[in-house]
Each structure stands twice: as structure tokens, then as C-alpha cells.
Amino acid sequence: MNFDFSDELKQLRDQARRYLVEQSPRAVVRQVLDGGERYATALWRGMAEMGWLGAAIPEQYGGEGLGYEGLCVLAEELGRAVAPVPFASSAYLATEAILLAGSDAQKRRLLPNLADGSAIGCFALAEGSGNPDPANVRLRVVGGRLSGSKWPVMDGGVADFAIVAARDEASDVALFVTDLTAGTVSRRNLTTIDPSRNHARIEFTGTDVEKLGATTGWPVVQRLLERAAILLAFEQVGGADACLEMALGYAMERYAFGRPIGSFQAIKHKLADVYVAIELARSNAYYGAWALSADAAELPLAAATARVSATEAFHLASKENIQTHGGIGFTWDVDCHLYYRRSKQLALAIGAAPYWKNRLVELIETRNAA
Amino acid sequence: MDFNDTPDEAAFRAEARAFLVANAAPKSRARPVLRLGDMGADAVQQCKAWQAKKADAGFAAITWPKQFGGREASPILQVIYQQEEDNYAVPRGLFEIGIGMCIPTMMAYARPEQLDRYVRPALRGEEVWCQLFSEPAGGSDLAALRTRAERDGDDWVINGQKIWTSGAHLSDLGIIVVRTDPNLPKHEGLTFFFLDMKSPGIEIRPIHQMSGSSHFNEVFFTDVRLPDAQRLGAVGQGWTVSLTTLMNERLAVGEVHRPDVEDLVELSRSLLVDGAPAIRNGAVRERIAEWYARTHGLKFTRFRTMTALSRGQTPGPENSIHKLVNAGKLQDIASYGLDLMGMAGLVMDDDMAEAYAMFQQALLSSPSARIAGGSDEILRNIIAERVLGLPADIRVDKNRPFNEVPTGAR
């Protein structure tokens, strides 16, 4: 049994944690939250220099070839730091879409720019309300051109290009790549519950798009979402862990009724429950990391399980962190809300909890039928 | 990451599997073995026969020193054996406490000649041991126990009552912690002994549980006499010795509870809600997904513990998570299963109830799972204090002489 990260990856984790403590303190997060920047550009450049952006991109396409376990380790630390960078959009969603569906020529053209940070990618799926579902993909590509709007698109206002899920001329769902700086594209930055991460509404008006590879059909979107779910689960676990650490720190230093509030069982038991939720989520995320790196047949079920668990853990940890802090916990100046916001943002990003729970049971049914 | 055994582990697993294939029948998932009522004489004999076979093959005490019949092997091999044995229908439930808790405590504190006398019969299942800790006034607050032992020459004389003693009525021997000096603060006035359960003055009464089973007992002591040679540890050191015993309890492998989430999946395929199988219902699907995620979160937490064991590390108080999550989940799944059955959910007749009344049985037995062996509340305290480092509760009784501590009506 070897169900843990290797010593090298633990070193990478420690190094990433130290780097983010220095380069992405919560003051940097607030820069973006308060509208000073749309993402932390200096941090992003530093991450590019350290090779994080191409962690899972094979070396032949300009990446580091660190593998998926390395990417998982980085994801957890970025989640812990609530890092205000388009990492999930660029390094999980856009990169994975190209790796999954792109032709070799497309990989050669697009991946090196993602790896060195010279281009930011995003993934445009939603067309307003609803969870991931082929019926909710209505935009159509006609004669190589796309018209209509996609929203919300995570990091859509800061990306250079988008991977768009749309219908091709045969009405099949497919992935397309498109330049977002073209004159036929207009973008509006959205006001959201989490201003520390950019979201946009993207309007296409006869925009030139190129089909990603030759694969069509909903399963390619589903596979992409599953792979992203595992990486996002690590971000969620990292965020939840940071909430628990904050709550513990405050519970030790805050006195009420003549003793630290952390000595009251009302607080102790609450935080024990948070710990339990995080441990379960972490273990499920580890299984996802294994499935991702082994490209195992169990990946879909592992992804849904990791997603359900991590969403629950981050939600619990972020709300109980505020509760443990009491009145000061819901002020703008104290950092609890950064995590509370991010928790819900991540919970919705690739489909909400009810969607993933339903998907998990679908996969159990498929497994049982086999 | 991988789930592979090391070469040594793989060789051991193959050996364990070969032993089980040759000596036991595979477990059937369809109809789980339910432990109800008292263990009859036949079942006791089957347990003893299996234990002897297991001991002779070297699987009964894998981590013990060789001189006591063990293999002096890493705890990871113990876990591997348990994983393999869990696939077989073997008689269980009589020796776990003796082998897992009593004898390890003896090894830490008993004299060599006592170990020569007691260890091997316990290992081979010839003698059954029980653990006499809890009392009516000392459950979660174990150190508040009141059973007295008074010195009389070379002997001690015990008077008082123990409760929740698993298997006392089937036991030959027991370990016991008692109060030897009520003038000292509660943790300091305790002393630890082992004793013959057939000693004059011991009366054992089974406790009839709400589930119908009688797994626990009350044990009454009236002028029970035992020699000072049966003391384990110094006079007044009883609390320290008790902690040795309880530490071993946490290493014990968690039991598999039924019904589990897979049973709920099966149930919801066969039952109808609004004219369609319950599993088509969105609310039902959400609940199944949540329990599946918790179940697998625990499974993979166990894999992480195994990895630590495999690397020679010792698991700590974080292991409390298993019982805390499992017991509550069992109760919730059982209750939800009955909800799915609707108005017929209350029926327990074997021939009419769904899934051989497994859900109803669990509804009635799961409350004890959340209390016995460390209540949910105590486990949360352990996690909060020993894993998360939060301050211990303020204890108003800590430094007062025990006989001046307020006790309430009971």
C-alpha cells in the first residue's frame, strides 16, 4: 500500500506553500477582490517561471511533465492561498481539453503558450442557468463561425482564448477553440459572489472558431469535467484546511467567559466535525489523484466522489470558520469571507452538488449493471 | 501512488489467503450474519475451535513477540490478515477483547511466570478474557469509578459494581481497574488487577438491550478476594495502566456494518416511490451519493493509515474518525431504509421484511454503536484535543480528593 504522495511531491508541496505565503498573502487576494487587478499578474508570472502552469503538460509540448499528482499538490496549495489567478481555467480546463480532444498540430500550437504563461485559456460551457447537460448547449457553429453568448465563463475576462462547447453543423456537441481578442468577440465582466476570481459574459458575433480535434459528442465534455473535478477537489480541500487552521487559531486566542472559546465543547465538537469532513474529502481526493495519474477505469466514479466530498467539506469549513469567529467573522476586513465566497464559487464552477450527486449514482448504476 | 503490497506483504497475504481458503467458507453478501441474543454454547465452541486453528497457523497474534506465539511482525500484516479474513464467514466475537486489549496489558505489566501461564491459553482460545472498566457512575468519565479494593494482608478485597462488560458471562478471566484510595484525586487513587471470573463473590447479570441482544453484563463484586500478586502496575498507577489497554482498543480494526450504502442501493432498486424505483428519485439519489462519498472517504482514510503503518509509523488519535463516522452513518442509513419502505417499514418478520429485516435490526442496534467503546461526544473531544490541539475541558474535580467530588443523585 502506497497511498500517499512521494517525498519529492511533498517537497514540491512545502515549496509551493512557502512561495504562496510570500507571494500571495491575502493582501494580494484583496487587490483583486477590491478591483485593483483582475488577477494577480505578478504571481501568475512567478508561477509560470516555476513551471507550475505546465505541470501536467508533457515535455514534448513545452510542459514540465510533472504529472497529475504534481498538479494535484499544486492545486491544494493554490486553494489554501485562495490564489487569485486563472490557474483552474488555464491549467485544468483549457489544458485538459486540448490534451483530451486536440489534434497533434493543435497541441503543438496551443500548449507551449499555456505552459509558459504567454497565453491564458478558459472553458466556456454555461449559457445561463443550469448544470452541465447536452440539452443546455444550444450555441451552434455554422460555416466555422459561432454566434451567441456564453455566461458565466470563469476567467473569461482575462483569458486570451477559449475552449467553447457548442453544437457543430451535425448538431453534435463538440469543443472549439477561439481567439477572444478578435473583433467579433465582446466581453462583459460580471459581478459575482466571488470578485477575487474573474467571470465574464462572452458575446460571439460570427466569430471564427476551430474544432478541437475530430472528437464529437457529450462524453468528451464529461471527461473534461471529471478530470477538472479531481483537481478542483484538491483546491477545495486546501481551502477547507485553511479555514480550519484559521478557526483553530482564533478559538485559541479569543477568550470569553474567562477561557479560550476553543475550550468549549460547542466549538470543539464543531471543529472536530470540520476535521472529519476534510479528512474524508482529502482521502477521496487522493483516490482521484491516483485515478488521474493512472488514467484508471475508475476515474469517473472517483471524480464524482471526490467532488461531492470536497464541496461538502469546503462549504462546512468556510461557514463554520465564520461562525467560530463570531461578529468579526462577517466583516469585510477579516479574511473569512474570502474562503466563504471561494467555497461557493468552486461548488458551482463545473456543476453544482446536486448535479454531481446524481452523476455519482448514475455511475454506481453503470458499475452494478456491468 | 499505488495500492500494491510490498513483496513481503504480498507473500504474507498469499499465505493468509491460502490458510483461509483451506479452512473457512467465503462470506455471502446476500444474507449477513446477524449477532442477536446470547452466544450459545455451540457458537462458543465454534469460536474456540477457529481460534485454536488460527493460533496454530500463526495468524492469531501477528504483532506479538515470538516467545508468546506471535510473529513479531508489523501491524500492517495484522491489517492485511483482517482484510482477508473479512471475506470469510468465520466465527467471531469472543476473543477480540482478550487478544486485543487484556493480554497486551498483561505483557506490559505482568510477571514472566504469569505470562507463561496465561498468554498461550488466551491465544489458543482456551481461556476467554473480559475487561471490567465502566461503572454506573463511570462511563465516559471512566476515572470516576467507585468499585473499591481494600488491602487485607497479602490480599485485596473488592466490593462494587461494573457494567457494560462485554462477554463477562463467557469469560474465565478479566482485567479490572478499581479505587484503592478515595482520599486522593480521582486519577491518582486507582489500581489495576487481573482476576479469575469464577472467584467467589462475583455475580454476573446480562443486560437486555433495546435491540433484543444481550451482549453486555452487569458484574457485581461482594467481598471478592484476590492476591496482591495479581496487581498490574504499582498501587495508584491504575489510570496509567488503563491507558495502555485503551490505546490498544484504538488500533483494533473497525467492524464492517450492515446495512451499508450498497444495501441501500439494492433496496432502492426494488422499492417504488411514486410508481418508479426509488433510485430514480432525485432526493433518494442525493442521499445515496452522500453516504457513498462518506463510505469511500473512510475506506481511503484507512488506506492512508495502512500506508503509514507500512512505512513503520504508528497511527494516533486521528483513528477515532472511523467509529465516529461509521456509527452515525449506520443509524442514518437504517432509518432512511425504513422511510423508503414507507408504512411497512416497521415490520420485522423475517419472511416479510425487506432485506431480512437488516434495516430494522440496525435501527435498533445502532444507538449502542454510537455509545459503546467511546461515545460520539468523547470521540469528538479526542479529535479536538489530541488531533487539533484545542484545550482540554475545565475539570472541576481534577485536584479534589475523590470522596469530596459532587456526584449528583446517582
pLDDT level of residue B318 (50, 70, 90 thresholds): confident
CB B95 within 8 A of CB B47: yes
Q: Which of residues 203-262 of B touch A (CB under 8 A)?
A: none
Q: A169 and chain B: CB distance < 8 Å anywhere?
A: no
pLDDT of residue B366: 94
CB contact under 8 A, B297 and A283: yes
Task: Give the pLDDT mean for B223-231.
Answer: 98
Q: A68 and chain B: CB distance < 8 Å anywhere?
A: no
Alpha carbon of B315: minimum distance to chain A alpha carbons (Å): 14
User: B393 or B388, which is more confident?
Assistant: B388
The answer on pLDDT for A110 being more than 90 is yes
The per-residue pLDDT of chain A, averaged, comes to 97
CB contact under 8 A, A286 and B300: yes
CB contact under 8 A, A263 and B394: yes
**For a pLDDT cut of 90, what percent of chain B falls above it?**
75
Q: What is the pLDDT of residues A178-231, one digit of tens each?
A: 999 999 999 999 999 999 999 999 999 999 999 999 989 999 999 999 999 999
Q: Are strands B173-179 and B155-163 parallel, antiparallel or unpaired?
A: unpaired
The answer on pLDDT for B34 being more than 60 is no
pLDDT of residue B348: 95
Residues 6+ apart with CB under 8 A from B58: B69, B71
CB B354 within 8 A of CB B336: no
Q: Which of residues 329-358 of A touch B (CB under 8 A)?
A: 354, 356-358
The per-residue pLDDT of chain B, averaged, comes to 92
The answer on pLDDT for A20 being more than 70 is yes
CB contact under 8 A, B286 and A357: yes
CB contact under 8 A, A361 and B279: yes
Of A260, A272, A280, the CB nearest to B301: A280
Verify cis geometry, omega within 30 degrees of 0, for the bond prior to B259: yes
Task: Give the pLDDT mean for A139-143.
Answer: 97
B290 is catalytic: no
ipTM for this prediction:
0.96
Mutate to test the interface with A, among B76, B269, B284, B390 (most CBs of A within 10 A): B390
CB contact under 8 A, B377 and A273: no
Mutate to test the interface with B, among A73, A264, A276 (most CBs of B within 10 A): A276
In chain A, residues with a C-beta closer than 8 Å to the C-beta of B285 are 357-358, 361
CB contact under 8 A, B390 and A259: no
Task: Give the pLDDT mean for B38-42.
Answer: 81
Task: Give the pLDDT mean for B354-359.
Answer: 93
Q: A271 and chain B: CB distance < 8 Å anywhere?
A: yes
In chain B, residues with a C-beta closer than 8 Å to the C-beta of A3 are 1-3, 300, 303-304, 306-307
Q: Which of residues 313-342 of B touch A (CB under 8 A)?
A: 318, 321, 324-325
- Out of B249, B266, B318, B385, which one is annotated catalytic? B249
C-alpha cell of B243?
491507558
In chain A, residues with a C-beta closer than 8 Å to the C-beta of B291 are none
Q: Are strands B217-227 and B173-179 parallel, antiparallel or unpaired?
A: unpaired
Please report where in the chains the cell 459581478 appears, as a residue.
A191
Q: What is the pLDDT of residues A250-270, one digit of tens each?
A: 999 999 999 999 999 999 999
pLDDT of residue B315: 77
Q: A365 and chain B: CB distance < 8 Å anywhere?
A: yes
Alpha carbon of B200: minimum distance to chain A alpha carbons (Å): 44
Q: Which long-range contacts (CB under 8 A, 24 or more apart) does A53-60 make?
A: A53/A87, A53/A90, A53/A91, A53/A114, A53/A115, A53/A116, A53/A117, A54/A91, A54/A111, A54/A114, A54/A115, A54/A116, A55/A91, A56/A91, A56/A95, A56/A96, A56/A99, A57/A95, A57/A99, A57/A111, A57/A114, A57/A115
Of A248, A263, A286, the CB nearest to B388: A248
CB contact under 8 A, A2 and B324: no
Alpha carbon of A366: minimum distance to chain B alpha carbons (Å): 12
Nearest CA in chain A to B311: A2
Task: Tabulate helix, strand, coil % of chain B (nearest 5).
Answer: 50, 15, 35
CB contact under 8 A, B279 and A365: yes
Q: Determine the Cα–Cα distance for residues B195 and B114; give it in Å rounded to an integer.
A: 12
Q: Determine the Cα–Cα distance for residues B114 and B121; give it in Å rounded to an integer.
A: 12
**Cβ-count burial of B394 within 10 angstroms (0-12 exposed, 13-18 middle, 19+ buried)?**
exposed
pLDDT level of residue B38 (50, 70, 90 thresholds): low
The answer on pLDDT for A98 being more than 50 is yes
Please report where in the chains the cell 502506497 appears, as a residue.
A2
Q: How far is CA A362 from the centre of its chain?
A: 23
Of B293, B310, B389, the CB nearest to A308: B293
Residues 6+ apart with CB under 8 A from A166: A137, A139, A140, A141, A146, A173, A174, A176, A209
pLDDT of residue B32: 60
In chain B, residues with a C-beta closer than 8 Å to the C-beta of A276 are 321, 324-325, 383
Instruction: Give SS3 for A177.
Output: strand
**For a pLDDT cut of 90, what percent of chain A falls above it?**
96
pLDDT level of residue B30 (50, 70, 90 thresholds): low
Alpha carbon of B272: minimum distance to chain A alpha carbons (Å): 16
C-alpha cell of A28?
494580494
In chain B, residues with a C-beta closer than 8 Å to the C-beta of A284 are 293, 296-297, 300
Q: What is the pLDDT of residues B323-339, one digit of tens each?
A: 999 999 999 999 999 99
Alpha carbon of A281: minimum distance to chain B alpha carbons (Å): 6
CB B92 within 8 A of CB B79: no
Q: A283 and chain B: CB distance < 8 Å anywhere?
A: yes
The answer on pLDDT for A102 being more than 90 is yes
**For a pLDDT cut of 70, what percent of chain A falls above it?**
100
Q: A190 and chain B: CB distance < 8 Å anywhere?
A: no
The answer on pLDDT for A243 being more than 80 is yes
pLDDT of residue B253: 47
pLDDT of residue B33: 56
